[in-house]
Structure 1
Amino acid sequence: MVDDTVQGRARERADELPGSELEHPFGPDWDVYKVRGKVFMLMTDVTGEPIVTVKADPEDGKALCQAYDDITPGYHMNKRHWITLRPGGAIPQDLVEDLVTESYLLVVEKLPRARRPVDPSLFGRTDR
């Protein structure tokens, strides 16, 4: 069964990514997804609604916040490098998946090459 909520789509995508691990370093109210020990996604409902926070390129994040009412600067994170996805139905499901993947790749590309579970320049490309 597919979970069509923002958190459900984000969770399903994160679970598919190589080396992705779910942890709870901030307690049971926060789902924290990491790759090789580095955070790429957080989920919680402590705000009163189920939100997803992901890393984003600063210019992309700014554009997304302007384009979607349900995308805001990162909750409790660096507002320049993180965005928060809120429920409301305005964010297309494929965009949620793309944003989780992009967040993951932004983190992976900063890892030493030997620790990367994938090559970020080739991951997801079909023209190899």
Structure 2
Amino acid sequence: MDYDDLKIYCAEKQGAREDYPFGPEPLVIKVSSKMFALISDGEKYPSISLKCDPFLAEILREKYAAITAGYHLNKKHWNTVLIDGSIPEDEIMEMIDQSYQLVFKSLKKTEREMIMNA
């Protein structure tokens, strides 16, 4: 996966939209007003920060050297994933899906319904 693959996969989520609240980097992907992914195009490899269940976040950090506590984010609930080829692509997509679902579930019922009915 590369930067564009990450961007496309995240943007395909229902109700997802791109934003740049912090300047030109990172690209923030939101569902409604809440972010579920932050994508940076690093010097050597891109990275993506994703929301994660705290228990699972720790397991993933132990399993992969390319996954660290969220950079400039709540370290308990966010992981930063370096896209260096050491993590299977399907696992990265699953992490993106989980992040989206966690954030989507946290939206107000009216926001979820608007997204689902769009």
Q: Distance in 2 between matches of 1:22 and 1:86?
A: 20
CA contact (8 A) 1:9 1:96 kept: no
Paired residue type of 1:114:
T
1:125 aligns with none
- The number of aligned residues is 114
Deviations along 1:7-60, one digit per CA (max 9) or x if unpaired, are 343222211100000011111121000001101000124677421100000000
1:84 aligns with 80
CA contact (8 A) 2:48 2:83 kept: no
Paired residue type of 2:106:
K
The runs of at least 4 consecutive aligned structure 1 residues that moved more than 3 Å come to: 45-49
CA, structure 1 residues 77+50, in 2 after alignment: closer, same or farther (shift >3 Å)? same
Unaligned runs of 5+ in 1: 119-128
Q: Quote the sequence identity (%).
A: 34
Deviations along 1:76-110, one digit per CA (max 9) or x if unpaired, are 10110000010321111011111111101101111
Report matched runs for 1:1-128 at 5 Å.
Answer: 4-5=1-2, 7-45=3-41, 49-116=45-112, 117-118=115-116
Give TM-score scaled by structure 2 length.
0.88
Give TM-score scaled by structure 1 length.
0.82
Classify the secondary structure of the residue corresponding to 1:43: strand
